[in-house]
C-alpha cells in the first residue's frame, strides 16, 4: 500500500529547476521517513527529480505521468 503523504506540493506551471527547488526547501520541513507528493507539468521534471533524488539519497517512490501531469512521491531518508 502507498505510504501516507505528509506534504503535497503543487508545482504545475513551473519550469526547471523550480519544482526541484520547491521540494529541496520543503523536504527539510518533514521528518525522516515521511513522504512529499509533487505535481508538476514540466516534462523535464522527470529527469530532474531522478537526478536530484540520486544525488541527495532521498527515495523516489513514484514517478508517473497522466495527461501532462507528472506526480512524484519522494521519501525523506536523512
Catalytic positions, written as ranges: 16
Query: What residues contact residue 29 under an 8 Å CB cut-off, 6+ apart?
Result: 7
Closest by Cα among 10, 17, 5, 14 to 74: 5
Amino acid at each position: 500500500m502507498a505510504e501516507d503523504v505528509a506534504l503535497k506540493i503543487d508545482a504545475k506551471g513551473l519550469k526547471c529547476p523550480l519544482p526541484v527547488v520547491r521540494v529541496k526547501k520543503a523536504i527539510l520541513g518533514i521528518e525522516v521517513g515521511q513522504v512529499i507528493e509533487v505535481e508538476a507539468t514540466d516534462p523535464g521534471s522527470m529527469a530532474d527529480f531522478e537526478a536530484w533524488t540520486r544525488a541527495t539519497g532521498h527515495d523516489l517512490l513514484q514517478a508517473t505521468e497522466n495527461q501532462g501531469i507528472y506526480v512524484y512521491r519522494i521519501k525523506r531518508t536523512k
